[in-house]
């Protein structure tokens, strides 16, 4: 679960899985992946993009890095802009 910056403990221990922080990070990661999945044709390819593709205008950071640093809304806005034809 390193993509959501969650340690093994966070997803294996019941009390940690239910924590607001863990749930928020998982929700944000899933929201971004679901939003780009149609573009890539599969969840696996969307996840690969999420983890490895540097986003223009974000100092070479990937969507994963931005989400981990609390910037999920900016990633979603970026995806919306690209989908609308605005090159970010």
Q: 28-69 pLDDT, tens per residue? A: 999 999 999 999 999 999 999 999 999 999 999 999 999 999
pLDDT for 68-88, tens place per residue?
A: 999 999 999 999 999 999 865
- Residue 55: phi and psi, rounded to 5, are -95, 130
**5 — pLDDT class (breaks 50, 70, 90):** very low
pTM of the predicted model as reported, rounded to 2 decimal places: 0.77
The pLDDT value recorded for residue 2 is 47
Residue closest to 4 by CA, chosen among 15, 39, 16, 14: 16
> Is there a contact between 75 and 66 (Cβ–Cβ < 8 Å)?
yes
């Amino acid at each position: 679960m390193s993509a959501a910056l969650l340690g093994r403990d966070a997803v294996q221990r019941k009390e940690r899985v239910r924590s607001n922080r863990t749930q928020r990070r998982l929700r944000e990661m899933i929201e971004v992946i679901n939003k780009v999945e149609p573009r890539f044709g599969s969840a696996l390819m969307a996840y690969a993009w999420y983890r490895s593709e540097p986003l223009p205008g974000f100092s070479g950071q990937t969507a994963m890095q931005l989400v981990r640093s609390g910037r999920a809304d900016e990633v979603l806005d970026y995806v919306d802009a690209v989908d609308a034809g605005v090159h970010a």
